[in-house]
Structures are given as structure tokens and as C-alpha cells.
Chains A and B, each alone.
Chain A
Amino acid sequence: MAIRNLLSKKGLGLFVVAGVLVLAAAGCTKKSDGSSGESSGGASGEKANGGEGLTIGLVLDKGGKDDKSFNSAAVAGATRAAKEFGIKVKDVESPDDAAFEPAMRTFAERGIPLVLAVGFAQADALKKVAPSFPNTHFAIVDAVVDAPNVASLMFEEQEGSYLVGYLAGLATKTGKVGFIGGMDVAMIRRFLMAYEAGVKAANPKATVFNGFVGITSSAWANPTRGRELALSQMSQGADVLFHAAGASGMGVFDAVETDRKKATYAIGVDSNQNGIKPGRVLTSMLKRVDNAVYEIIKSEVEKKFAGGPRSFGLKDKGIDYAVDDHNRELVAPYTEKLEKVREDIVAGKILVPDFYKTKEKK
């Protein structure tokens, strides 16, 4: 029906529709052009090793380079390394999962010595690409890819989640706290499991509500649902809400902000989100993706790159919780206990449950 219409009406419709499609495609291309090669200075990126320094390739996740959380942190770390070592960084945003593999291949084919894949969603693509380019170094954040030329940068999220859970358990007045996850995947379950354990350690009688925004990757960008989950938990009495939901977490902050009694607090994630709603954010669990990215680039520059898994946790401040002017007074009553818990985790006196490991046992 559709095609018959197009053909019979003198091709005019087809022509215009084709025009619109081309425009749409141009819009998409422009987007990725505009966001790639920011710090490399445009055309010079073509010659990978042409300049004085190296060029590093950064393949970003769907959230894009200004998600104010995960990808932003990776870009910040790479930019810092670029300034310090006089190297160039090319980055590319992936509109969907299918774009990871070609992006990695393009970087590797151009002779870029180190390609960074940001986010667990890229693991499958990297598993395919890495063996084809044995002389290229790869690094992936948040996933383990087992190949000699891949460094897997893992974070001990459970340590930080336990710590902020402990804080939530101390801070709650109602004895009820909440957790809002983005996409329902193992990594976010890891946050939840340790968070629950932390809450219970501080307050054994506490109730922990949990909710997930969705089961597809659009769950990272659905603030309306994030807010709705937060409001639903607040209506059941939760007064401290920890989110690990990417941009959907903005809805959690909005829900907390509009609480009429001003008795609800949020806990941010990944980057320092204390300033998003000053005074309503108890703290943020920091995941220093920037430091990890910086370190791996440094190792490449110093020709010390080594494949294999590496983990960042409380002990090396790869995981931390944020204290700044926005929340210093809020957390002041609890810092002493928190620091004690931190020391115990680092010393191995507290064993934080790890979802990844419990899953293997089953």
C-alpha cells in the first residue's frame, strides 16, 4: 500500500520523503561529527601518530559525553591526561549498541595505540574486536574482557554502596530507606545488594525499598519514571533514597526537592552530585572513572601498559563518598562512624557482599 502510493504519485512523494531522510541522516552525522575529536583539533586526528604525541581513542556509551556522571568522568580523566602528557584524545559517542564495534575498529585501523571503551555495554563488541588487533591496546571500564591486549578497569562499587548504605541507615528517621536503579542489570544489583547490607549494619531493623526504572537501555534516560519510583518509595515512608540510575536519577532529586516536609534526602552516584539540589543531597558515592582512565593513559604514555583486570576501590580512592560545602553539615554527625567503617572495609574486617561473587556460587 505504502509503496504503491509512493510509486503512483509521480514519484514526488518518494522524492520529498527521501529528502527528509537525508536531512535526518545529516542531523545524525552532524551530531556525531560535532561531538567527536573535540580535543584533537579536527583534521589532525586523521593522522593518528602524525603529531608529536600519541592519540588516544575514547568510545563513549549511550549516555553521551555530558551525562554529568559516568561518561563525563571518563572524558574529564582523558582531558586531564591529554593536557598533562601533550597527547591527543579523539572521542566518539555511540547512538546505540551496534555502533560500538565499528567505532573501535575505526580507531584501531587508524593505528591509534590505545582505545578506551567506556561502559559494560561495550564488552561484547570488544571481545570481537580485540583479537583482530593484537598490536592495539584496549581498555574497558566496568567489564572484564579476557584478552592479553585488554585492560579491564573494574570498580568495587559494592564497597562504596555499603558505605553510603551505612550512612543512610544512620541518617534515616523513619527506619525506611530506598534504592532506585536504572536498568535492571547485574552491575546495579551489585550496588543494591551492598547498599542493603550497609543499611542493615547501621540499623538492623530498617526496611530497604528498591525499584528499577526499566529493563532496556532507555532506563538510563527516563527521569519521569525515576521520580515516580522515588515518590512511590517516599509515600511508603522512605526518607533517604540512593540512586544508581544515570540521567533517570534527576527525577529522584526532583522528587526529594519537592517533598513538602523537607525531610527526605537523596544520595548521588558516580560523580559528585551534591550540588544538584544543595542541602537535599546527603552525599554522592564517587566512582572515580576519571582517575582510572587517567591512570591507564599514563601507563600507555610511559610504555607500561599491561592487560588484565584491575580494580579500584576504597583503598585507592577509586571509590569514595563526596563531602563538600553542600553537605558538610549534613554528614558531620556521622563522619566518625563512616570513617571507621571505611577503615574496616579496607582492612578486610568487614566483608561486603558482592553480587558478582554470590552469583557465581549459585
Chain B
Amino acid sequence: MDLVVAFLESTIRLSVPLLFAALGGLISERSGLANVALEGKLLISAFVGAAVAATTGNPWLALTAGVLSGALGGWIFGVLSVFTKADHIVVGIAFNMLVAGIIPTVCRAMFGGTGGTPQLAIETRMPAPIAGDFTFFGAALLLCWMLHWGLRETKWGLRLKAAGDQPVALIVQGVNPNWIRVWAGALAGACVGFGGIDLSMVQGSGYIRDMAGGRGFIALAALILGGWRPVPTAIACLVFAAADATQMLLQGQKLFGFNVPNSLVQIVPYLVTIGVLALRFGGKGMLAPKAINQPINP
């Protein structure tokens, strides 16, 4: 029983950064802005949050700064992708590389080392339980529901989807889909920002170089798996998190009397990813937004 509780708690904690990143990515991609830069935005916000907390000692200020830095990163990414009419994927890769270079440089200037921010004392991290693991998880679910509802019921949601599927229809109405994409990029960055803060200030105690560890890309896989829809995307994130929690609980344990080799256990998440993706693409489902990664000339 304890093991079940431990498993559920672990799944919840591991899912939070994935949920924020994937749902942020969803906003961006539904507007037609293909977003492989989720990893970079996770890192920016994790770093800015931890750096502000380390210098000011105020976690709430750090949360604000982290989320805003994610939004700014998303906005810049949007402008670069949309107005240069470049391939969003290429810009996204460049963005991730840029972040990987800039953070250690800034980090060195601020703290005298490229490896990360100093360790944050418990008072300067997000205070648990008010802003602990479960609050962030709840916020992520709320975001999921808001997107689920907002994409169907609000003018904002309809325009966002139109920018991704039929941008010409927006142009006819006199709305510039390019700016919708840019602001969707910024909003996406803000959402991803919560994921970054979760990494460095809720689950962690400071920024450590490359601490996102590929979660931005796993989130992207969840988004594709979820068919660019909020609820299935969230479920996909939970499946990935559960697979990861499983492998951690199984490590070093005896299973049916056998000592399972760790290396075998550790590929469980990857097997799940491949398996689920294969299942998904074997069946029918919603495909990508029709005009994703296509430049528009209004």
C-alpha cells in the first residue's frame, strides 16, 4: 500500500514539469508556431528563477521573474520564427543552443562559476505546502482544463486555432495571424516557465547546468502523442511520468524472486514512449495543425 502511495506521489511530482512544458507547447503549436525550444525555455526560467531567488531571497519575486523570462524567451522565439519566415524547427534548435551558451556565461558573471546558482536555502525556495509539489500539479491540471475549455469556447481559442489551421480566414477578417503566433509563443513561454521554476525552486534547490535533462523534448513527444489536444496531452505526460516513477521504484528490487538488472529497468520509460507512439500512429487521430510551421504573408 505504501508502495502505491509512493508511486502515485512520485508520478505527480515527475509529471509537473512535463505538464507545463507540454501544455505551453500546445498553445504555441496550435497557433501554428512549431516549438522545439521548450527545453531552452525550461532552462531559462529555471535559471532566472533560481538566480533571482539567490540574489534577492524572495521566492515570489523569483517565480514572477522566472515566468516572465520564459514569456520573453517565447516572444523572442516567436518573432524570430514568424517574421523571418524561417523554418520554426531550425530557429528552435538555434534557440536551444543559444540558451545553452548564454546561461553559463551569465551564471559565471553573476556567481563566478558556470555550473549553476548557489544552493538556495529552504526559505528562499517556493514555500511548501502553499506552493509545493501538489500545488504546482493542481495548477497544471487547472491550466489543462482552461485550455480544454478556452480552445473551444472563447474567441481567443478560436482565433488561436485558426492561426494554426487556416490563417487565411483570419486575414480575411482583418486579423494578423503572425501576431497571434508571436503572442501565443510568449504565453507558451510563460506556461513553460512554471515548469522551469518547478525544477529549480520546488523540486530542486538551485539551478544546475542542463538540469532540464531532455524534459522539453519528452513534453513535445507527449504533445504529439496527445494529438495536440489538452486532455490527451496531459494524460500522455502522466503516462511518461508514471513510467519514470516505475523504473525508479523497480531499481534494485526483486521482482518475482529475480534480481532485475538496473539497466533493463531503466529503459522502461523509453520502451513505453516507443510503444505508445507506435500504437498512436497505428490508429487514427487528430493530426498536426494544418498550417503549422508555414509562413504567412498577410
Kindly state whether residue B251 has any CB partner on chain A within 8 Å: yes
Kindly state whether residue A229 has any CB partner on chain B within 8 Å: yes
Interfacial chain B residues near A5, Cβ < 8 Å? 85-87, 295
Measured CB to CB, the nearest residue on chain A to B213 is A222
Q: Given that A21-B94, A215-B266 are contacting pairs, would A221 and B205 also be in contact in the complex, using a CB cutoff of 8 Å? A: no
Whether B252 contacts A211 by the Cβ 8 Å rule is yes
Measured CB to CB, the nearest residue on chain B to A229 is B248
B263 to chain A, nearest CB (A): 6
Surface stretch bound by B, among A106-114, A148-156, A246-254, A333-341: A246-254
- B side interface size, CB within 8 A: 56
- A side interface size, CB within 8 A: 58
* C-alpha spacing A280/B85, complex, angstroms: 54
Q: Given that A251-B204, A258-B128 are contacting pairs, would A24 and B94 also be in contact in the complex, using a CB cutoff of 8 Å? A: yes
Q: Classify the secondary structure of B's interface with A.
A: helix
Measured CB to CB, the nearest residue on chain B to A71 is B115
Per-residue contact bits, chain A 100-137, to B (CB 8 Å; 1 contact, 0 not):
00000000000000000000000000000000000000
Residues of A249-266 at the interface with B, using a CB-CB cut-off of 8 Å, are 250-251, 253-254, 257-258
B272 to chain A, nearest CB (A): 16
Per-residue contact bits, chain A 15-53, to B (CB 8 Å; 1 contact, 0 not):
111001101111110110011000000000000000000
Q: Given that A5-B87, A218-B213, A228-B248 are contacting pairs, would A25 and B262 also be in contact in the complex, using a CB cutoff of 8 Å? A: no
Measured CB to CB, the nearest residue on chain A to B203 is A224
Kindly state whether residue A358 has any CB partner on chain B within 8 Å: no
* C-alpha spacing A64/B113, complex, angstroms: 9
Kindly state whether residue A12 has any CB partner on chain B within 8 Å: yes
* C-alpha spacing A80/B266, complex, angstroms: 41
Kindly state whether residue A360 has any CB partner on chain B within 8 Å: no
Whether A224 contacts B91 by the Cβ 8 Å rule is no
Other-chain contact of B94, A17, A66, A67, A93 (Cβ < 8 Å) = A17
* C-alpha spacing A225/B251, complex, angstroms: 13
Whether B211 contacts A13 by the Cβ 8 Å rule is no
Interfacial chain A residues near B204, Cβ < 8 Å? 223-224, 227, 250-251, 254
Whether B80 contacts A232 by the Cβ 8 Å rule is no
Kindly state whether residue B64 has any CB partner on chain A within 8 Å: no
A200 to chain B, nearest CB (A): 15
Whether B86 contacts A17 by the Cβ 8 Å rule is yes
Kindly state whether residue B5 has any CB partner on chain A within 8 Å: yes
Kindly state whether residue A300 has any CB partner on chain B within 8 Å: no
Q: Given that A2-B89, A27-B102 are contacting pairs, would A17 and B114 also be in contact in the complex, using a CB cutoff of 8 Å? A: no
Q: Given that A235-B2, A250-B119 are contacting pairs, would A13 and B85 also be in contact in the complex, using a CB cutoff of 8 Å? A: yes
Interfacial chain B residues near A17, Cβ < 8 Å? 80, 84, 86-87, 90-91, 94
Kindly state whether residue B13 has any CB partner on chain A within 8 Å: yes
* C-alpha spacing A222/B6, complex, angstroms: 20
Measured CB to CB, the nearest residue on chain B to A10 is B85
Interfacial chain B residues near A254, Cβ < 8 Å? 203-205
Interfacial chain A residues near B84, Cβ < 8 Å? 9, 12-13, 15-17
Kindly state whether residue A210 has any CB partner on chain B within 8 Å: yes
B150 to chain A, nearest CB (A): 29
Interfacial chain B residues near A209, Cβ < 8 Å? 252
Whether B266 contacts A6 by the Cβ 8 Å rule is no
Whether A2 contacts B252 by the Cβ 8 Å rule is no
Kindly state whether residue B97 has any CB partner on chain A within 8 Å: yes
Whether B114 contacts A93 by the Cβ 8 Å rule is yes
Measured CB to CB, the nearest residue on chain B to A64 is B115
Residues of B77-103 at the interface with A, using a CB-CB cut-off of 8 Å, are 80, 84-87, 89-91, 94-95, 97-98, 100-102
Interfacial chain A residues near B119, Cβ < 8 Å? 250, 276
Other-chain contact of B97, A21, A225, A276 (Cβ < 8 Å) = A21
* C-alpha spacing A72/B262, complex, angstroms: 30
Whether A250 contacts B203 by the Cβ 8 Å rule is no
Whether A250 contacts B245 by the Cβ 8 Å rule is no
6 A-B pairs with least C-beta separation: A27-B101, A13-B86, A66-B113, A235-B6, A24-B97, A210-B252
24 contacts between A and B (CB under 8 A): A1-B87, A6-B86, A12-B84, A13-B86, A17-B80, A20-B80, A24-B98, A24-B101, A28-B97, A30-B101, A64-B114, A66-B115, A184-B263, A211-B262, A218-B214, A221-B208, A221-B209, A224-B17, A225-B213, A225-B244, A227-B204, A236-B3, A251-B203, A254-B205
Beyond the given pairs A24-B94, A64-B113, A235-B3, 9 more chain A to chain B contacts, judged by CB atoms under 8 angstroms and listed by A's residue number, are A5-B86, A16-B80, A17-B90, A23-B98, A27-B97, A68-B115, A232-B249, A235-B9, A247-B208
**Chain B interface residues (CB < 8 Å from chain A):** 2-3, 5-6, 9-10, 13-14, 17, 80, 84-87, 89-91, 94-95, 97-98, 100-102, 104-105, 108, 112-116, 119, 122, 128, 199, 203-206, 208-211, 213-214, 244-245, 248-249, 251-252, 262-263, 266, 295
